[in-house]
Amino acid sequence: MATARPDTLQPRKQPRQARSAVTVAAILEATIQVLLRDGAPQLTTTRVAARAGVSVGTLYQYFPNKQALLYAVLQQQLEAVAATVETACRQHRGQPLADMSDGLVNAYIDAKTTNIKASRALYLMAAEFDTADLLGEISRRIDRAMTAMLATASDVDLPRLPTVTFALRATLAGTVRVVLERGATPAMLKMLRSELPAMCRAYLAAATQRPRAANA
């Protein structure tokens, strides 16, 4: 009884023919373009349809309302971030805690800053409607990947894993968001690249209880 996405946000129908799949892709792409070029207030369904080269009616054949459209775009991007983090976590299993931390932090920053403008646009969109369920799902995926990685640290034992994972994810997501929303100047990004790894490493070290038997 928890995660089901409200019906009103479900895509209205699956494209069954090649041309309609193209149409849907064009609409999603047009949404980001309009948001980026014209800004949130100008993000009207008519304008999106026009840029996608279709009529409003066509847009509403695939998305029951404007929110469902934004939801679909947001979902695309968040899943890309989750996938990036999952890969990084898999790659760093069994390594020392500090290496894991750095790997995770850098992967997360990478994922969010490869397309800064798009990321900023998504923060704006995400606030325009209820994204709790989508964010919850993605958060759980990331938490799972992080927890699985942290449990395999080669040098230390990390207690209270759920709590520590939550704090770590909140810090990653929060700081990166603050930087992106405040303009993400080169200076800010540089600080992110140096301080966020330092912060996470220091926190994880403080959260560690006892060094592993072997090479302490």
Residues forming contacts to a copy of itself in the complex (CB under 8 A) are: 40-41, 123-124, 126-129, 132, 135-136, 139, 163-164, 166-167, 169-171, 173-179, 181-183, 188, 191, 194-196, 198-199, 201-203, 205-207
The dihedral built from the CA positions of residue 71, 72, 77 and 83, taken in this order, carries a sign that is positive
Of 68, 48, 44, 67, the residue nearest 58 (C-alpha): 48
Name which of DNA, a copy of itself, none residue 179 binds, using a CB cut-off of 5 to 8 Å depending on partner kind. Answer: a copy of itself
CA distance 162 to 11: 34
173 contact, one of DNA, a copy of itself, none, CB 5-8 Å limit per kind: a copy of itself
Quote the least distance from Cβ 206 to DNA, whole Å: 47
Q: Which is nearer to a copy of itself, 24 or 85 (CB)?
A: 85
Residues that bind DNA (CB under 7 A): 13, 15-17, 19-20, 23, 42-46, 54-58, 60-61, 64-67
For Cα atoms 130, 123, 186, give the angle at the middle one, nearest 5 degrees: 165
CA within 13 Å, CB half, 25: 6
105, burial (CB in 10 Å: exposed 0-12, middle 13-18, buried 19+):
buried
H helices of the chain, in order, are 18-38, 45-52, 56-62, 66-91, 97-113, 116-126, 132-150, 161-181, 186-207
Q: Which is nearer to DNA, 22 or 83 (CB)?
A: 22
Closer to DNA by CB, 16 or 210: give it: 16
Q: Which is nearer to DNA, 44 or 194 (CB)?
A: 44
| Phi, psi for residue 88 in degrees, rounded to 5 | -60, -40
For a copy of itself, give the closer residue by CB, 54 or 122: 122
Could you say which of a copy of itself, DNA, none residue 54 binds, taking C-beta under 5 to 8 angstroms by partner kind?
A: DNA
